[in-house]
């Protein structure tokens, strides 16, 4: 995320390259207006707004970390996966769990507990913890009902423990689940990322 420290505007983009290389691209055209390369959308803001310099451009790194579903089956597998991330002491960690965990646990409470346990693992050294709610699914009424219960427990827990909570209740099964009735369709994927972005940018 690039933030303009003059007007607090924020741009979120994605890159698979080294973050520094991408950030340099944004800055290059601002530092050197004669540069022939086309300014990026973020750079345009700094070029077209009065009194803006490259120094007003702040980079706030957001890293997406995927867990490989096949290798992570238990909470302790998850702990092993998260440990090196926690060691790097990020400001904040958002935990988004798939609904597979619903099927494997005996009750909503147990499932919520497992997600809370992951949060507890990262809740140290001033890292702020946020839980992202389970997204609804239509393939199985029982699981859909359970997802709702789990979210209710999680929402309450997060409020009591001053953890963040990202609610995806603007995603509903009837509108947004694709034909397989399990995986989120394209419009949902963008709505899901929009929910994350809104949370991150505080809007």
Contact in structure between 74 and 112 (CB atoms under 8 Å): no
Quick check: 62 binds Zn ion (CB under 5 A)? Answer: no
Distances (CA, A) of 145 to 32, 118, 149, 198: 57, 22, 7, 26
Q: 129 Cβ partners below 8 Å, 6+ apart?
A: 92, 93, 95, 119, 122, 123, 163, 164
Quick check: 47 binds Zn ion (CB under 5 A)? Answer: no
> Which of 67, 142, 156 has the alpha carbon at shortest distance from 103?
142
Which of 6, 22, 28, 148 is close enough to bind Zn ion by CB under 5 A?
A: 6
Which of 4, 85, 144, 197 is close enough to bind Zn ion by CB under 5 A?
A: 4
Quick check: 11 binds Zn ion (CB under 5 A)? Answer: no
Q: How far is the CB of 192 from Zn ion (least distance, A)?
A: 28
Quick check: 65 binds Zn ion (CB under 5 A)? Answer: no
Quick check: 54 binds Zn ion (CB under 5 A)? Answer: no
Contact in structure between 145 and 134 (CB atoms under 8 Å): no
**Stretch of 7-15, 24-32, 93-101, 110-118 lying at the interface with Zn ion (CB under 5 A):** 7-15
Footprint on this chain of Zn ion (rule: CB under 5 A) = 4, 6-7, 49
């Amino acid at each position: 995320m690039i933030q303009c420290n003059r007007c607090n505007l924020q741009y979120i983009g994605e890159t698979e390259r080294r973050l520094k290389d991408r950030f340099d691209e944004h800055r290059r055209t601002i530092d050197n207006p004669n540069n022939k390369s086309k300014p990026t959308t973020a750079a345009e803001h700094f070029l077209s707004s009065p009194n803006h310099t490259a120094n007003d451009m702040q980079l706030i790194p957001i890293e997406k970390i995927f867990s490989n579903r096949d290798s992570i089956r238990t909470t302790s597998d998850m702990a092993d996966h998260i440990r090196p991330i926690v060691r790097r002491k990020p400001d904040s960690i958002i935990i988004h769990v798939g609904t597979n965990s619903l099927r494997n646990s005996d009750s909503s409470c147990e499932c919520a507990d497992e997600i809370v346990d992951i949060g507890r693992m990262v809740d140290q050294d001033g890292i702020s913890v946020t839980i992202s709610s389970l997204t609804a699914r239509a393939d199985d009424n029982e699981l859909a009902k359970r997802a709702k219960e789990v979210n209710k427990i999680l929402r309450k827990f997060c409020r009591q423990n001053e953890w963040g909570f990202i609610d995806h209740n603007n995603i509903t099964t009837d509108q947004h689940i694709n034909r397989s009735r399990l995986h989120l369709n394209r419009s949902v994927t963008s709505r899901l990322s929009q929910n994350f972005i809104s949370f991150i940018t505080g809007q």
